[in-house]
């Protein structure tokens, strides 16, 4: 059996090495257009910043791989056409064209950066390959002092951070009113704050049309001058080869495959960023360009070829990115997406510390959980914090994989000592809040509902201390501290009361007290902190609109 793999990095090389472990007899050819196979693309931004000083640490020894796994690896070989009837590939290398036969073909071509038009007056680089990385490092070493990063996705953010590390003045231009579309606006606010605090000049509503005469030109005509431009405007699946060969391509533009990674031609399999995934929340088509899925699905392709396959699980999109001192971890759908899809959901915000508050080094995690009220299934999660976000998102991803529902998160028995967590871990707390909402022992309102509720005559009661109230309060709120509430509740109306504290916990106690004293009351979910963060991004939204 002759298996030819197109693309020799995450999915492609996982398929090749696993297949060799399963089948010593197969002939395995890897055709890679670039100079390197199996390189660590996720580490590229960190060599730019000098965090990974050794360039070689990102590279794999192709000859060593070829020897160990008995692979026929050919770099600088670009596949330009697939003749499915003849089961032959057209391959270009060193200016020559050759034909390559296959019994089984694996497409693992990844995604392609969308290129900004440029007149060449200033270096413009995406960051997808080792060549891109070398180009950026070269521009910095040649004396670039200023950079414009176009795009607020995770590659844009990682590159911006690493250019700051190299001492450049960085402008980050993003088309919308926030960075990272995997976050809802109130969750993006701390990320904006962190970028600004580290000297990144953030521009919202900055849609770039191209690069001309040494500057990024925006739709409104503004010019952002720079010595170096990073094009992180987005990626698209590399599905042109598949499309030209007549394979089915899905509505997202990714190659259509079944749960066993088979394309519409049974002799051709595909995995990685080039492929359309099945979304875990609605079973619909989705593009999820992440390394874990590419590696796992590439490995599964080998199982399919060797006849040992199981179906791929749908994609949750579990992801994490560092932005200076913050980690941003997400999975599933955002509230914005649930609203757009008209899908009923419940929203929970919490702000616990990552470990016991009394233990030195405690910092706040901002957490958001989206839950299907009818089934209690988790539909999405967003966690932003200095420490501990990674562990919590992975616990949530594991819980979802095991079909553990939101209210049952309270019952997870998680490791605890004060330096690692809390006796009620932040994930357990999400379960408690979900349980209270499900049982009707808590009623909450969201930060973005407040203006409407206040217009409708709801009274907003801030139950924090007078000192906290004086330091910053929501317009229109009256201050009745939690500890005075039982004595002073008669000052409040019997109906339409919203209470809030700093993060939602004292507000929850206040709501329980008032409710049992006969008031109609709701707690502001996530408290002042979530409201403040939501308002901060809403101001960008208004500016962009």
Active site residues: 501
Task: Output the CA–CA distances (angstroms, integers) from residue 365 to 321, 355, 448, 517, in the order listed.
Answer: 15, 10, 21, 33
CA distance 398 to 413: 13
- Three-state SS string over 171-230 comes to EEECCCCCCCCCCCHHHHHHHHHHHHHCCCEEECCCCEEEEECCEEEECCCCEEECCEEE
CA distance 434 to 60: 46
Site string for ligand FAD, 57-86 (x = CB under 6 A): ---------------------xx-------
213, two tokens = 């005469």
Query: Whose Cβ is closer to ligand FAD: residue 128's or residue 277's?
Result: 128
Long-range CB contacts (< 8 A, 24+ apart) of 466-471? 468/502
- Taking the C-alpha atoms of residue 396 and residue 424, their distance in angstroms, rounded to an integer, is 15
Q: Which residue has the tokens 């088509």?
A: 285
Q: In Å, what is the CA distance from 139 to each residue of 123, 142, 227, 228, 367?
A: 7, 5, 8, 7, 39
Which residue from 73, 72, 65, 74 is spatially nearest to 96, judged by alpha carbons?
Answer: 74
Residue 194: both structure tokens together? 């962190």
How far, in Å, CA of 171 to CA of 216, rounded? Answer: 11
The single residue among 10, 58, 256, 498 that binds ligand FAD, judged by CB under 6 A, is 10
The stretch among 17-25, 290-298, 338-346, 500-508 that binds ligand FAD (CB under 6 A) is 290-298
Q: Which of 4, 6, 301, 485 binds ligand FAD (CB under 6 A)?
A: 6
Cβ closer to ligand FAD: 9 or 482? Answer: 9
Q: If binding is defined by CB under 6 A, does position 34 make contact with ligand FAD?
A: yes
Of 4, 29, 108, 130, the residue at the interface with ligand FAD (CB under 6 A) is: 108
Minimum CB separation of residue 220 from ligand FAD in Å reads 29
- Among the listed residues 4, 7, 204, 462, the single contact to ligand FAD using CB under 6 A: 7
317: contact with ligand FAD by CB under 6 A: no
Taking the complex as a whole, the smallest distance from the CB of residue 410 to ligand FAD amounts, in Å, to: 29
Q: Locate 498 and state its tokens.
A: 């919203």
Burial 49-74 (b: 16+ CB within 10 A, else e): beebeeeeebbbebeebbeebebebb
Of 159, 149, 232, 164, which Cα lies nearest the Cα of 199?
A: 164
Which listed residue (16, 122, 241, 393) binds ligand FAD by CB under 6 A? 241
324 vs 420, which CB is nearer to ligand FAD?
324
Binding mask 382-421 for ligand FAD (x = CB under 6 A): ----------------------------------------
Q: How far is the CB of 252 from ligand FAD (least distance, A)?
A: 14
257, 263 contact by CB (below 8 A): yes
Per CB under 6 A, which region of 161-169, 184-192, 210-218, 283-291 contacts ligand FAD?
283-291
231 contacts ligand FAD (rule: CB under 6 A) = no
Among the candidate windows 39-47, 194-202, 216-224, 440-448, which touches ligand FAD by CB under 6 A? 39-47
31 belongs to the binding site for ligand FAD (CB under 6 A): yes
Closest CB to ligand FAD: residue number: 272
Minimum distance of ligand FAD from residue 68's CB (angstroms) = 20
Pick from 217, 289, 365, 389 the residue near ligand FAD by CB under 6 A: 289
**Number of residues near ligand FAD (by CB under 6 A):** 32
Residues 111-170 that bind ligand FAD (CB under 6 A): 127-128, 155
When binding is defined by CB under 6 A, the residue of 28, 202, 290, 395 that contacts ligand FAD is 290
Q: Which is nearer to ligand FAD, 73 or 168 (CB)?
A: 73
Query: Bridge partners of 74?
Result: 31
| CB of 42 or CB of 66, closer to ligand FAD | 42
CB closer to ligand FAD out of 113 and 503? 113
SS3 493: coil
Residue in this structure with the two tokens 């995934």, named with its chain if needed: 277
Instruction: Kindly tell me which residue out of 194, 227, 231, 273 binds ligand FAD, with binding defined by CB under 6 A.
Output: 273
| 169 and 202 Cβ atoms separated by less than 8 Å | no
Retrieve residue 377's tokens.
Answer: 């299934």
Query: At closest approach, how far in Å is the CB of 365 from ligand FAD?
Result: 20
Contact call for residues 476 and 503 (beta carbons, < 8 A): no
Contact between 203 and ligand FAD per CB under 6 A? no
Report the distance separating Cα 369 and Cα 401, nearest Å: 16
Contact 91, 100 (CB under 8 A): yes
- Rank residues 31 and 511 by Cβ distance to ligand FAD and give the closer one: 31
Shortest CA distance to 350 belongs to which of 284, 271, 422?
422
Alpha carbon separation from 216 to 64, 124, 202, 236 (Å, rounded): 43, 10, 14, 22
Nearer to ligand FAD, 318 or 410 (CB): 318
Q: Minimal distance in Å, beta carbon 31 to ligand FAD?
A: 5
Among 272, 352, 504, 534, binds ligand FAD (CB under 6 A): 272
- Measured from the CB atom, the residue of 353 and 382 that comes closer to ligand FAD is 382
Residues engaged in binding ligand FAD (CB under 6 A): 6-7, 9-12, 31-34, 41-42, 44-45, 78-79, 108-110, 127-128, 155, 238, 241, 272-274, 289-292, 294
């Amino acid at each position: 059996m002759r298996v030819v793999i197109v693309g020799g990095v995450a999915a492609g090389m996982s398929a090749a090495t696993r297949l060799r472990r399963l089948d010593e007899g197969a002939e395995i050819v890897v055709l890679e257009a670039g100079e390197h196979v199996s390189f660590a693309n996720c580490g590229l931004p960190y060599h730019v910043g000098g965090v990974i000083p050794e360039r070689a640490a990102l590279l794999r020894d192709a000859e060593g791989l070829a020897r160990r796994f008995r692979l026929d690896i050919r770099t600088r070989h670009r596949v330009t056409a697939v003749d499915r009837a003849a089961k032959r590939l057209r391959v270009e290398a060193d200016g020559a064209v050759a034909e390559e036969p296959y019994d089984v073909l694996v497409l693992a071509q990844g995604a392609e950066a969308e290129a900004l038009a440029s007149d060449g007056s200033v270096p413009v680089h995406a960051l997808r390959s080792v060549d891109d990385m070398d180009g950026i490092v070269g521009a910095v070493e040649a004396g670039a002092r200023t950079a414009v990063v176009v795009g607020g996705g995770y590659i844009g953010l990682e590159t911006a951070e690493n250019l700051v590390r190299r001492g450049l003045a960085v402008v980050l231009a993003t088309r919308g009113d926030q960075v990272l579309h995997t976050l809802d606006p109130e969750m993006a606010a701390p990320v904006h704050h962190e970028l600004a605090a580290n000297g990144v000049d953030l521009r919202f509503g900055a849609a770039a049309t191209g690069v001309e005469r040494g500057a990024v030109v925006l739709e409104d005509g503004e010019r952002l001058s720079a010595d170096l431009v990073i094009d992180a405007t987005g990626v698209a699946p590399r599905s042109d080869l598949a499309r030209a060969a007549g394979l089915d391509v899905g509505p997202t533009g990714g190659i259509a495959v079944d749960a066993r990674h088979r394309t519409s031609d049974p002799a051709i399999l595909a995995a990685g960023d080039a492929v359309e995934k099945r979304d875990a929340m609605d079973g619909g088509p989705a593009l999820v360009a992440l390394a874990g899925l590419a590696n796992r699905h590439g490995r599964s392709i080998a199982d399919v070829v060797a006849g040992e396959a199981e179906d791929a699980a749908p994609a949750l999109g579990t992801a994490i990115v560092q932005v200076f001192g913050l980690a941003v971890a997400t999975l599933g759908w955002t509230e914005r997406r649930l609203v757009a899809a008209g899908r009923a959901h419940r929203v929970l915000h919490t702000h616990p510390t990552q470990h016991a508050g009394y233990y030195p080094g405690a910092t706040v995690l901002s957490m958001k959980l989206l839950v299907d009220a009818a089934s209690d299934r988790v539909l999405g999660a967003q966690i932003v914090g200095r420490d501990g976000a990674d562990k919590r998102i992975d616990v949530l991803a594991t819980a979802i994989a095991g079909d553990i529902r939101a209210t049952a998160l309270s019952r997870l028995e998680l490791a605890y000592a004060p330096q690692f967590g809390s006796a009620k871990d932040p994930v357990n707390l999400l379960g408690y809040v979900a349980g209270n909402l499900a049982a009707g022992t808590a009623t909450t309102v969201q930060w973005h509902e407040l203006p409407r509720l206040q217009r409708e005559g709801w009274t907003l009661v801030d139950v924090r201390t007078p000192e906290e109230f004086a330091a910053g309060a929501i317009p229109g709120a009256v201050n009745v501290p939690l500890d005075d509430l039982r004595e002073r509740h008669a000052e409040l109306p019997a109906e339409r009361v919203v209470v809030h504290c700093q993060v939602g916990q004292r507000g929850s106690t206040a709501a329980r007290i008032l409710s049992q004293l006969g008031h109609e009351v709701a707690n502001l979910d996530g408290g002042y902190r979530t409201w403040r963060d939501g308002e901060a991004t809403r101001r960008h939204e208004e500016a962009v609109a």
